[in-house]
A and B are shown apart, each in its own frame.
Chain A
Amino acid sequence: MRLIWVAALLAGPVAGPVAAQEVPQFVEETAAAGLAHQFSGEWEYMVGGGVAAFDCNADALPDLALAGGTAPAALMVNQSTAGALGFAPVDSGIEMEGVTGAYPIDIDSDGITDLVLLRVGENVVMRGLGDCRFERANEAWGFDGGDAWSTAFAAMWEEGAAWPTLAIGNYINQREEAYPWGSCTANWLHRPEGTGFGAPVELKPSHCALSMLFTDWNGSGKKALRVSNDREYYEGGQEQMWHLEPGQPPRLYTPDEGWKRLRIWGMGIASTDLDADGYPEFYLTSMADNKLQRLVTPGPDALPDYTDIAWARGVTAHRPFMGEDLRPSTGWHAQFADVNNDARADLFVAKGNVWEMPDFAMADPNNLLLQGADGVFVESADKAGVASTQASRGGAVVDLNGDGALDLVVVNRNGPVQVWRNTGPVGNWLAVDLRQPGPNPTGIGAWVEVRTGDHLQRHEITSGGGHVSGIWGPQHFGLGAATEAEVRVIWPDGRVSDWQRVAANAVATVTP
């Protein structure tokens, strides 16, 4: 393994020891940053509203591709400087209508990040040309964009494959005016064929997916596809997980294999290995109670049987935590991220009424749940200054100005996109950027482990999940008071690197 590390790009909050559950202060800089964009639309856009955060001009700052619904999608180039966020729209080639969400991924492994645009209508893969310019690549890559209401995405490289496998989740039949219930359309699996993709394989049964994630749920080294489905529209549906064996058709996990039926208004998946036992936990957003799933019996022979620990960990986030509106909440994008750099994953949840549903909260603040040393999360969005009550959908917790403190961007439906700068206090941090030669240059499917003393953090490198929103960039780890850490990588092919010592407050580039 080779390590290259560079110091923080921009000066920011003074990193150092942070008290337990100290709440970082976020300052909304939407207007000052010039981030003027809105995800708009009526019925066909009641779900969706995503953002892709990734560096498209090689300046090491994440730029933003924003879905627009009935308005054109937009690409905002990051012009942030020390102490202030800044964005400027550019003509990038993605300015098309009907976009519900966006995910960044280097599909052709040329070192330039591409984009997958999910749409009401035809999905479009956009080849990155550099300098934040993109061109349509459906025809060149044999990608059949179909014609559906696409609302979920996940990607991985199957063993030995030169091109990724893309999973796309579809929602209800957008043309079903009177009886949308039971009209869930088929999800698609785009597997590689030659220098592109073969015809999409339908993932039947499909149950109105709103989030998908390839994950090594059982530590076997094999990826399975988790799908979170909206029970509002399926009939006979449930949450799903698919086997995906090289060269074999996808196959659902069954009750005989331990799969337990769960039926929720599934809207977003976040995962992280909270207890660093080698098995990720999954946070599933829904309406009213959200779920935090942990394997009942973790281990090499684990069955896909999960228990819900959301209540025990303080993350049910089932109703607004502030204000007068106590009706149940509606959760969308979720993401684990250490926003105070205390070496413990925190949790952001975007909230917002679907659309004039009076049985659910209309003033539904987003959640920022800070994890304490006891593993219990404490609501802090109001104290942190990010408790927006807009109708939020997608989002990204990402270091927008390269100062080592994670910032926040949220896409709202029929409301302005919002962005907040994290001004700290935060602890020390480390960002790990994976690079490998050949296909899958950014190491999707790898595990990154960071050790400080006897404290271990593990991140699975995934592409997908959340709610129609994705991030590509270095993996962020809070280090607390530690001034250095050890890093190792379990690469997608199973190779395990040696532990390497690195200094805090830097981006470490790791190669096999």
Chain B
Amino acid sequence: MQRRRFLTLGGAAMAAALIPARAMAASDPVPVLTNWYKLTLQLVRHTATYSPPVAARAFGYLGVTAYEAVTACNPAMTSLAGQVNGLTPLPRAGTGAHDMAAVLQAALSAAVAHFFANTGPSGQRALATMTRKLDAQVAEGVEAEVLARSRDLGAAIAGHVCAWADGDGGAVIANMGFPEAYVPPASPAAWVPTSLVRQQQAPLLPDWGKVRTFAMPAGDTCGLPPPPAYSEDPGSAFYAEAMEVYTVSKALTPEQNLIARFWSDDPMLSSTPPGHWIFVANDLISRRDLPLEVSVDVMARLGVAMADAFIGCWHEKTEYNLLRPITYIRRVIDKSWTPLLNTPPFPEYPSGHSTVSAAAATVLTAALGENYAYEDFTHEREGLEGRAYGSFWEAAEEAGISRLYGGIHFRAAIEQGLAQGRCIAAHTVALRTLA
């Protein structure tokens, strides 16, 4: 048994996260997986088109890429071809030996380069450095013929997945996802822009609900009941929801403030909400020494479920096109009110973070167990200490309510978002993988 090795790529910047977790084989593929995900989290933050739905989509395809790379060399695993929408049978290992780490490295390096082709100069530089160093690492001790065969297989798998991805309707993002114009409907309940940023005067990615799903049949599969009917009557349910957001914001406790910031996960300032959950899973793979097969299964299911979650969530957001708390509260309750968090530039119902967190919690619980206690260090490098959770669902529910503390969602959007995420992820849980 040889040591599992991690690349030292970032000096002080990444050293803490890259400390070897345990002893493993020299060609251990798991560090290849975790190192690529660590870089991907940075690329999500630093690539301008990577809003949360776009990030979730990339995590879906990267998860499938990694899973299929391992599956190609492991007959005991079941391919997702034929199980997820539109994925045809992938290349498999033929005759001759293959090195698993080299296959995975070739597949992930090609796939990450494909999905982050638009990243900036530092991202491109980091991509090239990661590829070069991991290529060298996995090549150590591997015969040239085996290495070439393995790289060919990994590249073929990545090419297959990328071609599949290109046809899903979400591959091209123009103007960072914002349409050129938006005319709000006449209804007072309709979403209106809430930002002074010129680019954000139209809702982000209004057609994202039409993107091809992975495991669930379509974007409308887990539809939601309508939110409380719009009303400015102080006796109405809608007014009560708004007043709850307003009242909570006026007496926010330090803990509530911290929770709102911990789950804020702003695009271009963090790895976004799906990146938050990817960080958690990737961190657990390293800290808990999860086996390779389990690791790629977890990352594939997590990516697929979150990608579907955003498609389903956006479908409902467009369907109901509900205004944000800041619009209603300033109109009806207090014209000077400002929420703790910046209000995202798209409709309110349901809460995207709630939907995606419930989806994540559902698949992680199915894969790793109920009451799986862990610490979440996602924002440690930003100066926010890790938070401990007794289960994935405890974290998901906190993520949901954080949006009320932050003043950007009503309670119904959170509760229904969590329900929708659970529904959507059930389709992912039903996928056959390791059996």
Contacts and interface: CB of A to CB of B under 8 A. Distances in A.
A complexed with B: yes
A117 B49 CA distance: 36
A247 interface: no
A178 B10 contact: yes
A173 B122 CA distance: 12
A328 B122 contact: no
B176 interface: yes
Interface string B31-56: 00000000100100111110000000
Interface string B88-119: 00000000000000000000000000000110
Query: Which residue, B9, B47, B118, B198, has most C-beta atoms of chain A within 10 A?
Result: B198
Size class of the A contact interface (CB-based, 8 Å): 35 or more
B371 interface: no
Name the residue in A46, A180, A310, A356 with the highest tally of chain B Cβ atoms < 10 Å from its Cβ: A180
B176 A328 contact: yes
Interface stretch (B124-132, B137-145, B346-354, B390-398): B124-132
A181 B121 contact: no
B397 to A, nearest CB: 26
Nearest to A182: B13
Interface in B331-384: 381-383
Given A232-B46, A289-B199, A318-B199, A359 B125 contact: no
B382 A235 contact: yes
Interface string B74-86: 0000000000000
B9 A357 contact: no
B280 interface: no
B434 interface: no
B11 interface: yes
Contact of B129 (A178, A183, A289, A319): A178
Contacts of B136: none
A359 B197 contact: no
Contacts of A180: 13, 122, 125-126
Contacts of B381: 182, 235-236
Nearest to B180: A326
B118 A358 contact: yes
A326 B130 CA distance: 33
Nearest to A316: B198
Contacts of A289: 196-199
A251 to B, nearest CB: 18
Contacts of A176: 10-11, 13
B187 interface: no
Interface residues of B, number: 36
B252 interface: no
Contacts of B133: 178
Given A43-B125, A178-B126, A326 B175 contact: yes
A327 B120 contact: no
Contact of A310 (B14, B49, B196, B199): B196
A176 B10 CA distance: 7
Interface in B8-36: 9-14
B198 A355 contact: no
Judged by DSSP, the binding face of B is helix
B216 to A, nearest CB: 29
A173 B120 CA distance: 17
A459 interface: no
Contacts of A324: none
A46 B122 CA distance: 10
A133 interface: no
Interface string A24-47: 000000000000000000010010
Interface string A159-198: 0000000000000010011111111000000000000000
Given A179-B42, A311-B198, A328-B176, A359 B10 contact: no
A312 B124 CA distance: 37
A359 B14 contact: no
Contact of A328 (B14, B39, B48, B383): B48
B112 to A, nearest CB: 13
A46 B196 CA distance: 29
Interface string A226-269: 00000111011000000000000000000000000001000000
A206 to B, nearest CB: 14
B298 to A, nearest CB: 24
B45 A181 contact: yes
A354 B125 CA distance: 14
B42 A327 contact: no
B175 A327 contact: yes
Given A231-B268, A289-B198, A360-B48, A183 B122 contact: no
Given A177-B129, A182-B381, A328-B176, A288 B197 contact: yes
B163 interface: no
Given A176-B10, A289-B197, A43 B118 contact: no
Contacts of A295: none
B269 interface: yes
A318 B198 contact: yes
A287 interface: yes
A231 B266 CA distance: 12
Contacts of B176: 288, 328, 359
B257 to A, nearest CB: 11
Nearest to A309: B196
Interface in A478-510: none
A215 B148 CA distance: 61
Interface in A266-297: 287-289
A144 interface: no
A181 B121 CA distance: 12
A95 interface: no
A308 interface: yes
Contacts of B196: 289, 308, 310-311
A358 B14 CA distance: 27
A144 B14 CA distance: 29
Interface in B391-426: none
Contacts of B198: 288-289, 311, 316, 318-319
Interface in B275-314: none
Interface in B171-193: 175-176, 180
Contact of A181 (B13, B124, B130, B268): B13
Interface in A311-326: 311, 316, 318-319, 326
A357 B46 CA distance: 11
A328 B121 contact: no
Contacts of B39: 179
A173 B13 CA distance: 10
A359 B173 CA distance: 9
Contact of B120 (A179, A183, A232, A288): A232
A183 B13 contact: yes
B366 to A, nearest CB: 33
Contacts of B47: 359
B25 to A, nearest CB: 24
A354 B197 CA distance: 21
Of listed B46, B122, B382, residue having the most chain A CB within 10 A: B122
Which has the most chain B C-beta neighbours within 10 Å: A43, A232, A233, A360? A232
B13 A179 contact: yes
B42 A181 contact: yes
A234 B118 CA distance: 20
A356 B197 contact: no
A236 B125 CA distance: 23
Contacts of B12: 183
B130 A359 contact: no
Contacts of A356: 120-121, 124
Interface of B: 9-14, 39, 42, 45-49, 117-118, 120-122, 124-126, 129-130, 133, 175-176, 180, 196-199, 268-269, 381-383
16 contacts: A43-B121, A176-B11, A178-B130, A179-B13, A179-B39, A183-B12, A183-B13, A235-B382, A236-B382, A289-B196, A310-B196, A311-B196, A355-B120, A356-B121, A356-B124, A358-B118
Given A181-B42, A181-B122, 4 more contacts: A177-B9, A179-B13, A289-B197, A311-B196
The 3 closest A-B pairs by CB, nearest first: A179-B10, A178-B9, A359-B48
